[in-house]
Structure formats: C-alpha cells, structure tokens
Amino acid sequence: MNALIDTINSPAPESPTSASPGLSSFSLNINDEHVDDCSTQRPIGVKKAKGKRKVEGQNSLVIDTIKEDN
C-alpha cells in the first residue's frame, strides 16, 4: 500500500517539481491568436436560443400554410 502511495505522490520524471506538494502542475500556453478566436464565438446558450427561434419560425410557417389550405 505504501508503494502505491509513493507512486501516486512522486512527480513524473518529465514534469517539473511543483511548489505545492501533492498538486500536479501544467503549463498553460495561450497565444493572442487563440484568445481572439475564442472571443468571437457565441456561448452555447445563445446558439441554442437562436436555433429554437429558427425552429419556432419554421413551425409557424407550416401552421400558416396548413390553415390557408383548409
């Protein structure tokens, strides 16, 4: 059991040692180009709302067409 705990707590050979023991560290590499790309995208809630309005509009057209035919 102690060997398993030592394996979990020991850092990987290729990873740098962290200032906080027990916490893994990673590098975050974000350049300006990536940030600009993300800022122009709409949040998922906006996309869903737009899609819902589109479907509702299409449903209204179908209902109006059926009413006109009767």
This prediction has a pTM of: 0.35
In sequence order, which residues have a C-beta less than 8 Å from that of residue 69 and are 6 or more positions away?
none
- Write out pLDDT tens, residues 11-55: 555 555 545 566 666 666 666 555 545 556 778 888 889 899 999
Report the residue count for the chain: 70
In which band, very low, low, confident or very high, does the pLDDT at 61 lie, cut at 50, 70 and 90? very high
Helix (H) or strand (E) holding 34: helix 32-39
DSSP state of 28: -
Residue ranges per domain, the chain?
44-70
Q: Residues 41-52, buried b or exposed e (16+ Cβ, 10 A)?
A: eeeeeeeeeeee
